[in-house]
Chains A and B, each alone.
Chain A
Amino acid sequence: METEVKDQLVSIEKPELVAPPNWEPVIMGILCNWCSYAGSDLTGTSRIQYPPNIRIIRVPCSSRVDPWFLIKSLQTTADGVLVSGCHPGDCHYISGNYYARRRFLVTKKLLNFVGFHENRVQFSWVSAAEGPKFAKVVNKVTEDIKKLGPLHLYKKENFEKK
C-alpha cells in the first residue's frame, strides 16, 4: 500500500500547463458587508452581467480578512482570491480597511515571493454605489485567472476524487 505521502506538486505558471477544455476557474470572493457586498447586490439588481466563477463570502469588514483565509482558499478549491472592501475613508468601522491594506500588501508580496503569480490574489475597493465597477473587477480577475490556468501549487488533496 502506498504509505509515503508525496504531494502532487507542479510548479505553476508553466506555459505547457494548459487548462483542460471547458475548465472554469473558481475564485474566492471575500467581500466586506457594508460596501462591496452591497455593491455586488447592486450589480445584480442593475442586471449587469458578471462571471459566475466567483464564490462570495461576506465578512463584516475587510480587516476581518486574516491572511490565513487567503492561504486556506488557495490551498483548497480556489484558483484565485479577490478581497474587496470600502474605499479608504469610507470604512464603516472608521479605519478597518487601512489596517487591511497593510496586511494585503505584505501577504501579496509574500505569496508572490514563494511562487504564486501576483494575479492569484487581488484586491479592490468597491463602494455600495459602484455596481458597474464590481462587475468590471470580477471580469478582470476572472480573465486574469483564466490566463494563468488552474492552480496546482501546494494544494491540499481532494480525498473524494481518489
Chain B
Amino acid sequence: MSVEIFVTDKAGLQKFYEAIMANHETYAPVETFGKFDFKRVARLTECDPESPVAKTRSIKPLFFPRTSRVMKYIATSAGTDVSETDEDPLAVKRVILGAKHCDARALQVLDKVYNWDYIDTDYQKRRENTVIISTRCDKADTHCFCTSLDYDVENLDAMDVLIVNGADGKIYIRAKTEKGAGLLNSEVTRHASPVTEESATPELKKQYDAFAASFRLRMDYAEVNAKLSKIFDTPEFENVSGNCVSCNTCAFVCPTCHCFKISDEKVKDAGVRYKSYDSCNNGYFTLMAGGHNPRPAKYRRWRQRAMHKFVYYKERFGENLCVGCGKCTISCPVNISIFEVVNQVAQ
C-alpha cells in the first residue's frame, strides 16, 4: 500500500469531520457531567474530537458494551425455547472520531484475548466494521506513560486514520490501514491536498518528539517486567494496596480490562442472560459457592490486577495489558497510580 498523507488546515479538518458525519454512523466524544463519553453524533457542534485525554472515557464500550444480552429464553408447556437475542446492529459501518492513541492500542491488545481459542465473533464484527480516526496528543497528561511501555507510539498502527497537528500549524492526515485509506479516498480529497511521505515525515517527527518530551512519567519497561515476574510473594503489595478502597472504578474505566460476569434475570417464565463488566478488585470476584475464595484479601486482588497487566498477559499473549493511558489514576478516588505501584513493587 502506498502511504498517502494529506495536509490541510483547521477549517479543512472540520469539513472533513463534517463530511464523515454526514455519510457515516459517527461516534465522537460528547461532554456529559464534566467528562467525555463516546456517543453517536450527527453534527460537529455536539462533540469535541480534540477532547482532553484526561477527561475522555475509552472507546472500549463501543466494542465491549458495559452490558449486553447474550441470550433469552421462554419456558412454555411445549418446552424451553432458547435463542440469541435480536439481530445484528452492526451491519452498517461506523466511524469513531477523536479516539486517543492509547484507546486504539488497547483494542489491539484486546484482540489477542478475544481471538485466542474461541473467537468472539461479535467483538470481531464490531472491529471489522469500525474505522477509528485518532488524533495524536500534543502533550502528555499528568498520568500518561504510554511511551514507557512495550509498544511503539510513534509508528502505532492500531488506528485506521492518524491525524497529527503539525508543529508548522498544518494538519496531517494519514491512512494507517486499508480501511482508513478507503475512507480517506472517499471523504478527504475535497478538503485536503496529498503530499509525499518524505516531505511530511520531518514535521510528524518533530511533533512526536515534542509530545514524547512532555512526559512526566518514565520507566524502563523491560526491567519492571522482569523484576515483577520474580516477586510474586513480596509484602510490598500489602503496602501499596493500603489505601485502595476496592471501589472497582479502575477496572470499569480501563480500556483493556475485559473481565465480565454472566448473570440471569427472569420474570415469570421468561428470562435474559446478561454479560456485564466486572472487576477483579471485587471481593467476591473469585468467591466460590462453597465459600472458598482464592483471593480473599485486598492485596491479593491488587497483586492479581498489577501482575495480570504487567506480567501474566505479556507471558501469555506477548503484549502488555496496560497501555499507559492513566485513566485509572484519574478516576481513582485516592489517586492510586498503577505506574507508581508497579515501580514501587519492582524496586
Direct contact of A and B (CB under 8 A): yes
Interface residues of A (CB under 8 A from B): 1-5, 76, 156, 158-160, 162
Nearest opposing residue in chain B for A77, CB measure: B267
B65 and A160 within 8 A (CB): no
B72 and A3 within 8 A (CB): no
The residue from A5, A76, A156 contacting B69, defined by CB atoms under 8 A apart: A5
**A159 CA to B73 CA in the complex, in Å?**
9
**A162 CA to B266 CA in the complex, in Å?**
13
Chain A residues with CB under 8 Å of B68's CB are: 3-5
Contact residues of B: prevailing secondary structure: strand
Nearest opposing residue in chain A for B70, CB measure: A3
- Please, how many residues of chain B have a CB less than 8 angstroms from a CB on the other chain? 23
A1 and B65 within 8 A (CB): no
CB of B230 closer than 8 Å to a CB of A? no
B268 and A160 within 8 A (CB): yes
B87 and A160 within 8 A (CB): no
Chain A residues with CB under 8 Å of B274's CB are: 5
CB of B86 closer than 8 Å to a CB of A? yes
B85 and A3 within 8 A (CB): yes
B89 and A4 within 8 A (CB): yes
B67 and A5 within 8 A (CB): yes
B72 and A159 within 8 A (CB): yes
**A122 CA to B266 CA in the complex, in Å?**
29
B122 and A3 within 8 A (CB): yes
**A128 CA to B79 CA in the complex, in Å?**
47
B267 and A5 within 8 A (CB): no
Could you pull out 13 A-B pairs where Cβ atoms are within 8 angstroms?
A1-B84, A1-B85, A3-B69, A3-B70, A3-B89, A4-B67, A5-B69, A156-B267, A159-B265, A159-B266, A159-B271, A159-B272, A162-B72
**A160 CA to B84 CA in the complex, in Å?**
15
**A158 CA to B270 CA in the complex, in Å?**
8
B267 and A1 within 8 A (CB): no
Asked, given contacts A158-B267, A159-B270, whether A2 binds B72 with beta carbons under 8 Å apart, the answer is no
A2 and B69 within 8 A (CB): yes
Chain B residues with CB under 8 Å of A4's CB are: 65, 67-68, 89
Chain B residues with CB under 8 Å of A2's CB are: 69, 85-89
CB of B269 closer than 8 Å to a CB of A? yes
CB of B332 closer than 8 Å to a CB of A? no
CB of B42 closer than 8 Å to a CB of A? no
B87 and A1 within 8 A (CB): yes
Given contacts A1-B122, A5-B68, A158-B267, 15 further A-B contacts (CB under 8 A): A1-B86, A1-B88, A2-B69, A2-B87, A3-B70, A3-B122, A4-B68, A5-B274, A159-B265, A159-B267, A159-B272, A160-B74, A160-B270, A162-B72, A162-B270
What is the minimal beta-carbon distance from A66 to any residue of chain B, in angstroms?
Answer: 21
What is the minimal beta-carbon distance from A9 to any residue of chain B, in angstroms?
Answer: 15
